Structure 1
């Protein structure tokens, strides 16, 4: 098994069935997985902010920083590896309100940006574990597409 670690504003893909993709400490950031069970390819992105807005140069330099550009880029790269959009199963975790971030509501805005992006593309979210005030670790198991979220020592499948 190879463990692929997704850092903040990063994305990883794999088509090796023994691989696991993981991202640690999702606070207000949003982790999104997409897996095509037939093509056997999947990916995970760890997005810091909801949308590029005026930061277009930053989005060009690193599209994975933003939900709207990062998830779209991940899907394009999965399709380059044989995935079909209609078969992709999307799951999300994170989007918490860390440190009482009531002023910016970054976590909530990240999840809302994902919802708008998926709706525009007629895609549904299969499962999510978002909000609250706790950090999460998210795992994507490529052999089955199973997504596990760990938080405060507890694990659950999405």
Structure 2
């Protein structure tokens, strides 16, 4: 019996229970980042709304998960606190779409660029990516295996 943990916007969930599935819905320009330690079978997911907290430090203190730069870093810290090892973590990301016709803010691209910069600064790589375009996505992380699934427009695929 799977227990579903739902990650809201600017939210994060962690688990070490192999029966859990972590899911975040309706990723448009937001990024969903699934992070998993395959040896310890510990995982988490963060749903980040904006790229950086640089201009909004107080908001980042109140909710670090709102921002890619602080949210992903905090998720990794909490996974390590649960017993995960940084060097084993697998990172898979979805979202970052352009949900506006005019590309005025291009938040999705800015979110993904912030994540890429964060990963490079920490000498890490993204293991799988499904970003961009103009479609919303739902992201699932299965704690028993580390399997990550993206559902969009009625279709599912492993990431």
Q: What range describes the TM-score normalised by the shorter chain of this pair?
A: over 0.9
1:101 Cα deviation from its structure 2 partner = 4.9
User: What are structure 1's unaligned runs of at least 5 residues?
Assistant: none
Q: Which SS does the other structure have where 1:114 is aligned?
A: helix
- Provide, for residues 70-116 of structure 1, a one-character-per-residue CA deviation record: whole Å limited to 9, x for no partner: 00000000000000110000000000000225111100000000000
Q: Which SS does the other structure have where 1:43 is aligned?
A: strand
Measure the CA separation in 1 of the matches of 2:102 and 2:85: 37
Where does 1:1-158 land on structure 2 (aligned, <5 Å)?
Answer: 1-158=2-159
Measure the CA separation in 2 of the matches of 1:13 and 1:93: 18
- Provide, for residues 18-71 of structure 1, a one-character-per-residue CA deviation record: whole Å limited to 9, x for no partner: 100000000000000100011110000000000011200000000000000000
Give the TM-score, by structure 1 length.
Answer: 0.99
Aligned residues: 158
Q: Which SS does the other structure have where 2:103 is aligned?
A: coil
**RMSD between aligned residues:** 0.6
User: What are structure 2's unaligned runs of at least 5 residues?
Assistant: none
Runs ≥4 in structure 1, deviation > 4 angstroms? none
Q: Which SS does the other structure have where 1:24 is aligned?
A: strand
Q: Which SS does the other structure have where 2:74 is aligned?
A: helix
- Provide, for residues 124-154 of structure 1, a one-character-per-residue CA deviation record: whole Å limited to 9, x for no partner: 1000100000000000000010000000000
Measure the CA separation in 1 of the matches of 2:63 and 2:33: 16
Measure the CA separation in 2 of the matches of 1:13 and 1:148: 17
